[in-house]
Amino acid sequence: METIVFIVLTIVSLHFLYESVILPSLTLKIKYKFSKLKDEVIMMAIDKKISQEEANYVLHRIDISSRNMQYMTLSTLLHTQSFISKNPDFKKHGASQNKIKNERLKNIKVICAKYLFKALIYNSLMWAIYIIPICIVFFAYGRIKRTSKSLIERLNTTPEKDFDRVIHGGEYCPI
C-alpha cells in the first residue's frame, strides 16, 4: 500500500513540477519564435516585398497561433477536426482565404504549424506519465499470464505428449 501511495505522490509531484516550471518555459520559448516570425513578416512588409493584405493575413495567423497555444491539446484538436468535417462551408471559407503568393510567407505558415504541433506535444506530454504505468501493468499482466500458461502446459506432460514431440520434431523439455 505504501508503494502505491509513493508512486502516486511521485507522479503528482512530477506533474506539478512540469505544469508550473517546465511547461511555461517551453511555451515561452515558442512564443519568442512566433515573435521572431512576426518581426520577419513586418520587415518584409516595410521593405515592400509583400502586399499589406498578405502581411495582415499572416500576422493575424501568427497572433492567433501564439495566443491559443496553451489550448493546443489532443481533445481540442479532435473537437476542431470534428467541427470542420461537419461544417464544409467553414472549410471552403478557410481555403478562399489562402491567397498567399510569396514563397517565404507560405514557409512561415508551415513553420507556424510546426510550432503549434510542438505546443500540442508539450501540452499533452503529462498524459504519458499517467498512461505509461498503466501500459506497463497491462504488459506485465499479459507476460505473466503467457509465462504461467506455458509453465502449466509443460508441467502437464504425459509420456504420450513427450513421445509425439520427439517424433514430430518439436521441442523436448521433460520437466
Distance CA 122, CA 73 (A): 9
Of residues 101 and 123, the one with the higher pLDDT is 123
Q: Is the pLDDT of residue 136 over 80?
A: yes
pLDDT given at position 95: 56
pLDDT given at position 11: 86
Q: Is the pLDDT of residue 137 over 90?
A: no
pLDDT in tens, 54-64: 889 899 999 99
Q: Which helix (H) or strand (E) holds 174?
A: none
SS3 37: helix
In whole angstroms, what separates CA 116 from the centre of its chain?
Answer: 11
Segment 72-82 mean pLDDT: 86
Q: What is the mean pLDDT of the chain?
A: 84
pLDDT band at 37 (very low <50, low <70, confident <90, very high): very high
pLDDT given at position 166: 65
Buried b / exposed e along 112-137 (16+ C-beta atoms within 10 A) = beebbebbbebbeebeeeeeeeeeee
Kindly report whether the global pTM for this prediction surpasses the value 0.85: no
Q: Is the pLDDT of residue 89 over 70?
A: yes
